[in-house]
Amino acid sequence: MVLLVHPFGNESVRALLLALEEAGLLGRFVTTLGWSNYSYPELSDHIRGKLRRNYPVPAERIDIHPLRESVRLLASSLNLQSLTRHEAGWASIDRVWGGIDRKAAHCLRKGAYGSNIKAVYAYEDCAIQVFRAACDLGLRRIYDLPIAYWETSQRLLREEAERYPEWEPTLVGTRDSPEKLERKTHELELAELVICPSEFVRDSLPKNNGSKARALIVPFGSPEIASSDADRQSSADRPLRILFAGSLSQRKGLADLFAATKLLKTNAIELVVMGPLLCPLNWYRQFAHFTYEGPRPHGEFLGMMQSCDVLVLPSIVEGRALVQQEAMACGLPVIATRNAGADDLIVDGETGFLVPIRSPEAIAGRIDWFASNRSRVAGMGIAAQTRARELSWRGYGEKIVTAVRELIQT
């Protein structure tokens, strides 16, 4: 049986939980806030679909520790920044991750999860304590690394701070403490199997750091979107709608995209920027003209996405930006970098284009190609949608379960 630890849960966690449960391998899921899909049966499917932090496993397999995360959510809504300050705040994301890690390790040592736990599955920044407990108890250890290893990330982000010093406030990772980075190093050293969402993440792993862990690439799944919902045409009667979706940070290459738009005919394109702000909106507007769309429920996000023509994500550091597969599932071709985890998604000229990082000229060139070849956009969108459908969340979960089962049996 597997103990899975994650403070927030997300689509990949849900897919893995379901796969572990169906395989009879889920011991317990440890998180901050959450409930079972099977709870509150009186709720309609419509309401249930709008709930967050609901998981496809029985309630008795979910172990919640809600205090610190509840305070974080409240403090964020009240703008109590001292409580959520990076690493230092009592209810910062780092403290939430560390807190759930300590809780899981404590309960594991006490035997609170039963005597049949054979492996621990934990995520970056939430694994050091529970892995140490697992080592002491002779349990196997699986590490999920959703973004490039910290040494690669830090190098790239610090280089970005030098390229665009005014964008440094959006590069939160540059302020990680030496203690936090050391924990990340020890997490990897304790791991036996590392789950990576892309080749970029796998290739970022250090070659000589004392870890003997095997790395396995498991691409994320794509959302299921009906063909009728995604059938769309790129009309030459209006500007080409270019979409950027994600946090408004230079980690995702937004400064390069803004620079690229200045190289283009402004009447040929419309740039739509969607995502959480890391600086005031007017600060971003000094760099480019764009339409801003704030965060919204996932269904509404996909609907807005289908009003656009092409997704552009020139990321500097990612793991595998899920928004790429969401866009492709909606019938949008994609312009992205290998560092966005897009290397197996994009076939140049068929599903989109790969561009090098830090190249506004290359981004502008590909956007201009789409603007000049509007008749090709729909066909490339169909090819992108076909590729997205080849990657399912069920396949994601089953591939990890197969690897976990093999590890437990060795």
- The string of pLDDT tens digits covering residues 205-234 is 998 756 678 999 999 999 888 654 444 555
Structural element, H or E, at residue 217: strand 214-217
Sheet with 193-196: strands ordered across: 62-64, 26-31, 2-5, 119-123, 140-144, 193-196, 214-217
The matching CATH number, chosen from 3.40.50.2000, 3.40.50.2300, 3.40.50.300, 3.40.950.10, for 227-389 is 3.40.50.2000
Asked if 333 and 352 touch (Cβ cutoff 8 Å), the reply is: yes
Query: What are the distances in angstroms from CA 328 to CA 28, 31, 80, 331, 385?
Result: 34, 31, 38, 5, 5
Which pTM value belongs to this model? 0.89
Task: For residues 325-331, give the mean pLDDT.
Answer: 95
Percent pLDDT > 70 in the chain is: 93
Phi-psi category of residue 290: left, alpha or beta, with phi > 0 → left and psi -120 to 50 → alpha: beta
Task: Return the closest-CA partner of residue 125 out of 77, 188, 45.
Answer: 188
Q: What 8-state DSSP symbol labels residue 224? A: -
Do 2-221+393-409 and 227-389 have matching folds? yes
Confidence of residue 40 (pLDDT cuts 50, 70, 90): low
Task: For residues 36-47, give the mean pLDDT.
Answer: 63
Percent pLDDT > 90 in the chain is: 78
pLDDT at residue 213 in the model: 86
Residue entry with tokens 């080749």: 199
Condensed to tens digits (0 to 9), the pLDDT of residues 78-93 reads: 989 899 998 889 999 9
CATH topology assigned to domain 2-221+393-409 = Rossmann fold (3.40.50)
Confidence of residue 38 (pLDDT cuts 50, 70, 90): confident
Residue entry with tokens 């901050």: 32
Condensed to tens digits (0 to 9), the pLDDT of residues 129-159 reads: 999 999 999 999 999 999 999 999 999 999 9
Taking 80 as the threshold, does the pLDDT of residue 45 lie above it? Answer: no
Condensed to tens digits (0 to 9), the pLDDT of residues 53-67 reads: 889 999 999 999 999
Going from N- to C-terminal start, the domains of the chain cover 2-221+393-409, 227-389
Confidence of residue 265 (pLDDT cuts 50, 70, 90): confident
**What span, in angstroms and rounded, lies between the C-alpha atoms of 321 and 145?**
13
Confidence of residue 188 (pLDDT cuts 50, 70, 90): very high
pLDDT at residue 228 in the model: 46
Task: For residues 318-335, give the mean pLDDT.
Answer: 94
Task: For residues 235-252, give the mean pLDDT.
Answer: 90
Per-chain mean pLDDT for the chain: 91
pLDDT at residue 229 in the model: 45
